[in-house]
Amino acid sequence: MKTVLFPVLGAVAVFAAGVTPSTAGDRYADRPPVMVSPDLSAPWVLQLGHAPGIVRQNRQVVQQPRLRYAQPGQPDRVQTAAVQPPSKRMVMRPQINPIYLPQEVAYDGPQKPGTIVIDTTQNFLFLVEKNGKARRYGVGTGKPGFEWSGTHKITNKREWPDWRPPAQMIKREAAKGRYLPTYLAGGLENPLGARALYIGTTEYRIHGTNQPWTIGGAVSSGCIRMRNEDVVDLYERVNVGTTVEVI
């Protein structure tokens, strides 16, 4: 395992960079390097899969504070990594398009307030509000061959859900040389992220992700992905029994 430095506006963030051949996070692609925000206390930092180690500012070592979405049961401490210069320049993947960040928008659809509407063409989730408004979030949706539509209810809600990949998914990924676990406990490495809203009696969920850079694309096996901080926000706003309309 080697360490990688990312200089950001006078600060340096240290991460342990590596790829584990059989982790759940590599179902579709290896985890890319990520350009870190200057705000290292932002909740999304923990979605990178490992808590950042230390931040050096003005030659002083500053420990990272505990973040809002700390994994349950983890000690309240910061892990550190040795500082070494990168061996070569790395190509950064573009950050999430700001259009997919949560925002209030005008909404003139026929659904009543409190309904969740998921537009799988534009990759938006709308939580319909009163007075012609909606709260809009960017989402990741089913990749080609995994699209679906329909109207259901939220039947369950879970924090830091466990993941049991369906047998068909395990078989499908094994054919590609990617071997999934039959069970993965909830946590930062779990592809279901911080929260899950279960849709009807289907195998689909609205859930968080440990791959936030995929939001805005057709990337899943039918589930609706959200950034962890966004699914936490939605989770607090809706109840079991909420109508979900996927179009």
Q: Which two tokens stand for residue 113?
A: 């307030």
Q: Which of 27, 195, 205, 207 is catalytic?
A: 207
The pLDDT, as a whole number, for residue 13 is: 40
Q: Which of 223, 224, 234, 246 is catalytic?
A: 223
Residue with token string 């999430």: 96
Q: Which two tokens stand for residue 218?
A: 């057709």
Closest CA to 161 of 141, 138, 189, 180: 189
The pLDDT, as a whole number, for residue 30 is: 53
The pLDDT, as a whole number, for residue 207 is: 98
Is 152 annotated as catalytic? no
Please name the CATH architecture into which domain 98-246 falls.
Answer: Beta Barrel (2.40)
Is 223 annotated as catalytic? yes
pLDDT under 50: residue ranges of the chain: 1-23, 25-26, 34, 36-38, 40-41, 45-46, 48-70, 75, 77-88
